[in-house]
Amino acid sequence: MIGKRGKLLVLLYAALLAVLFLMCSTELIIREPEKEIYQIAVIIEDAKDDNYSSFRKGMDQAAMEYNADVRFITLYEKMDAAQQMELLGREQQDGADALIVAPVDEDRVKEALDGKQVTVPVVLLGTEQAEEEVKRAVITDYRKMGARLAEQMQKRLPEGCPVLIFSDQENRSAMSRYFLEGAEAVLLDGGHKCSIAVREKELGYRGALEELRASGQGGAVLAESPEILAETAGLLADDPPYAGYVQGLYGRGSTLPILNDLDRGLISGVCVTDEFSAGYYSVFMAVQALEDSGRQTPVVMDSYYIEKQDLRKPEYEKMLFPIE
Amino acid sequence: MTGRKIRVLLLSACVLLTACRGAQKEEQKTSIRIGISLYRGDDTFINNIRGVLEEKAKEYERESGIKVILDIQEAKGSQNTQNNQVERFISLGCDVLCINPVDRMDASVVIDRAMTAGVPVVFFNRQPVEEDMNRWEQLYYIGVDARETAVLQGQMLVELYQEQPEAVDLNGDGVVNYVMLEGETSHQDSLIRTEWSVQTLKDGGVPIERITGGIANWERSQASALMEQWLSAYGDAIELVLSNNDDMALGAIDALERAGNTKVNVVGIDGTTPGLEAIESGRLLGTVSANKELYASAIMELAASCALGEEPPEAYPLTDGIYYWTPQEILIRDIGR
């Protein structure tokens, strides 16, 4: 039999247990470290994400490692600067802690940053602004990339071989513009005649290829953007006779269709950057900015010229076909 | 306090609580978040659907003013990876999940997690077993009727044979010798497509004879390798290639072109962009295409209604309250009929 005192002790013990249980369950004693999830919005310049597949893999990898919730946003219309600015505002208002932006119009984005319309940290992508002007950016020097490609083209093309530049001036991004400026300067210096062919409404670039065939002398083709490069490779695949007049198809980009066409020999050579790392660094920089961990400097991405035989080289394979 | 006073107090509290709840319910969502997991990222048909789905999400956003956040992940053919993705989607606060299952027989983990979190699921393209689909009223499926697809593939050839027998029976011996490219082992769509396209040909009076067949896992490269083997073993005896999808049909065409053989008729299913281009250029005889605009619209609209807690949209009538079957059509090369 338990005495009166014993009963009191049992009651006290039970009460103590109940209090301890309540304290534990309400995290008064054992508090789990709170992990903050950073909300990051990525706003690109395009209406499709076709050129961003490796970039997204790198971005997702960094998001997992640094506890970020990344939202990838494309524009309704390609190269719509006004809409991009609207989205910057909307995402900031919707609680984004940081923004990663591939600007359609660099000046407008810079104005918004300077004018404090955007108050959260911003990481710029592919910008040409001087390194010292921007604190947080993943920079690719597209002029340098164009020049690098043109140097390689010169080595491979016959002397004075004309170069037909396939361009889409209506929807031209800053990246394409800088890339062509870099390439054209080197090609002209090397004595190659460059002429620009713009996309025709119905025929696309087929008309330009027909003209090349009609001229009888042929020439090389340089595509200003990854989309145009893939489209031109498709034209060469559909109409093999064109290939006889095209002494080489060159451009930039590392999307899967481009790499497949390089492998099939439809594309002669491309300049690429490490898109996976660019995606990774952009999220990493955004998180760093939020944690305010040290001084930040822009990351400058290098570019590489590759041909079919380089696709399986270990140093390029990992970069071109990244696995998350 | 008297009993009457207590009753009045309790009643007032109830009214207040109900009013608060009502106000909460009326609060309109201004954004929805949709977690999408694809069984593989390199499947051409799935990629086509993904592209249209992204467009439809933008359209929906513009028309409704409700912001749509799409989280799209690829499961790389691993059910385990897909299960983890579902877990992540739920912890990120997705309002609805759109899942293209890796293993249609093993959707139970996805369903369990979604049910626990109260997040509705719209499955698409690979149909989970009926038993799983009946477990919860917030599960839906959008796809095409596999049997209808196969019947249309067969019908396309029956009609061509009836109009121009020589266009199908290439050597004119009264028998159409065919090879069959199948998708996956024991995959429901693959089995149904194989069975019913052949059955329709037989029912339509086309004198067919199977030479051989093989599984190419829906992949162009595997189909190309198989076709190369068959060409070296059976050569010109092959008159027709029946394929469970366009990617494999294009693989067969690759092998035929390498062998310099452009006469053999090849038919596919899906109506993918490369498939349609191949019809245009005369390399593929025909395909059965689901209306991708409708397919993606149905996914988007149904997902949005689930996320907003609304009734499923009437524009996409559901069979048994669960299934939406996307309309399909035959696309065939113009061969001067």
Residues 52 through 91 of chain A touching chain B, CB cutoff 8 Å:
60, 69, 71, 74, 76, 90
- Cite the beta strand spans of chain A per DSSP E: 38-43, 68-73, 98-101, 122-125, 137-140, 163-167, 194-198, 219-223, 246-252, 269-273, 299-301, 303-306
Q: What is the pLDDT confidence band of residue A29, given thresholds at 50, 70 and 90?
A: low
ipTM score for this prediction = 0.74
Residue with tokens 């009538």: B317
Mean pLDDT of chain A: 88
B31-143+292-326: CATH number:
3.40.50.2300
**Could you tell me which of B170, B57, B285 has the C-alpha nearest to residue A49?**
B57
**Phi, psi of B256, deg, nearest 5:** -60, -40
Q: Do the beta carbons of residue B184 and residue B223 sit within 8 Å?
A: no
3-class DSSP assignment, residue B122: strand
Q: Do the beta carbons of residue B32 and residue B308 sit within 8 Å?
A: yes
CATH homologous superfamily, domain B146-290:
Response regulator (3.40.50.2300)
Chain A interface mutation, best of B34, B54, B82, highest count of A Cβ atoms under 10 Å = B54
**Phi, psi of B323, deg, nearest 5:** -105, 135
Q: Is B51 on the interface with A (CB under 8 A)?
A: yes
Alpha-carbon distance B237 to B242, whole Å?
15
Sign, CA dihedral B174-B177-B183-B188, equals positive
CB contact under 8 A, A94 and B54: no
CB contact under 8 A, B67 and A74: no
Alpha-carbon distance A294 to A300, whole Å?
18
Nearest to A238 among B67, B71, B281 (CB): B281
Residues 233 through 262 of chain A touching chain B, CB cutoff 8 Å:
234, 238, 256
Alpha-carbon distance B33 to B117, whole Å?
15
Alpha-carbon distance A55 to A73, whole Å?
13
Q: What is the pLDDT confidence band of residue A129, given thresholds at 50, 70 and 90?
A: low
**Residue A127 predicted with pLDDT over 70:** no
Q: What is the pLDDT confidence band of residue A24, given thresholds at 50, 70 and 90?
A: low
pLDDT of residue B22: 45
**Could you tell me which of B230, B226, B202, B231 has the C-alpha nearest to residue B215?**
B226
Alpha-carbon distance B316 to B308, whole Å?
17
- Cite the beta strand spans of A207-295 per DSSP E: 219-223, 246-252, 269-273
CB contact under 8 A, A74 and B54: yes
pLDDT of residue A207: 87
Instruction: Give the residue ranges of chain B where pLDDT is below 50.
Output: 1, 14-26, 337
Residue of A199 and A238 predicted with greater confidence: A199
CB contact under 8 A, B62 and A76: yes
Residue with tokens 């900031």: A92
Query: What is the least distance, in Å, from the CA of A108 to any CA of chain B?
Result: 23
What is chain A's percent helix, strand, coil content, to nearest 5? 50, 20, 35
Query: What is the least distance, in Å, from the CA of A76 to any CA of chain B?
Result: 7
Q: What percent of chain A has pLDDT over 90?
A: 50
- The tokens describing A307, both together, are 């041909």
pLDDT in tens, B199-232: 999 999 999 999 999 999 999 999 999 999 999 9
- Mean pLDDT calculated for residue range A82-108: 92
Residue of B309 and A25 predicted with greater confidence: B309
**Residue A73 predicted with pLDDT over 90:** yes
- Mean pLDDT calculated for residue range A15-22: 84
Q: Do the beta carbons of residue A209 and residue A241 sit within 8 Å?
A: no
Exposure on the CB side of residue B180, measured as CA atoms within 13 A: 23
**Residue A27 predicted with pLDDT over 70:** no
Chain B interface mutation, best of A46, A69, A77, A92, highest count of B Cβ atoms under 10 Å = A69
3-class DSSP assignment, residue B87: helix
Give start-end residues of each CATH 3.40.50.2300 domain in chain B: 31-143+292-326, 146-290
Q: What is the pLDDT confidence band of residue A128, given thresholds at 50, 70 and 90?
A: low
Nearest residue in chain A measured CA to CA from B282: A238
Residue A287 burial by Cβ neighbours in a 10 Å radius (0-12, 13-18, 19+) = buried
Residue A134 burial by Cβ neighbours in a 10 Å radius (0-12, 13-18, 19+) = buried
- The tokens describing B247, both together, are 């990617």
Position B238, amino acid: I
pLDDT of residue B96: 97
Give Cβ neighbours of residue A292 (< 8 Å, ≥ 6 apart): none
CB contact under 8 A, B31 and A94: yes
Secondary structure letter of residue A170 according to DSSP: G
pLDDT of residue B50: 94
pLDDT of residue A241: 75
**Residue A39 predicted with pLDDT over 70:** yes
Q: Do the beta carbons of residue A205 and residue A235 sit within 8 Å?
A: yes
Q: Do the beta carbons of residue B167 and residue B335 sit within 8 Å?
A: yes
Cα distances from B68 to residues A77, A256, B34, B118, in angstroms, run 16, 27, 7, 19
pLDDT in tens, A274-299: 999 999 999 999 999 998 766 678 88
Helix B246-258 with B44-64: angle, nearest 10 deg: 140
Query: What is the least distance, in Å, from the CA of A72 to any CA of chain B?
Result: 8
- CB contact burial A235-251 (16+ within 10 A = b; e otherwise): bbeeeeebeebbbbbbb
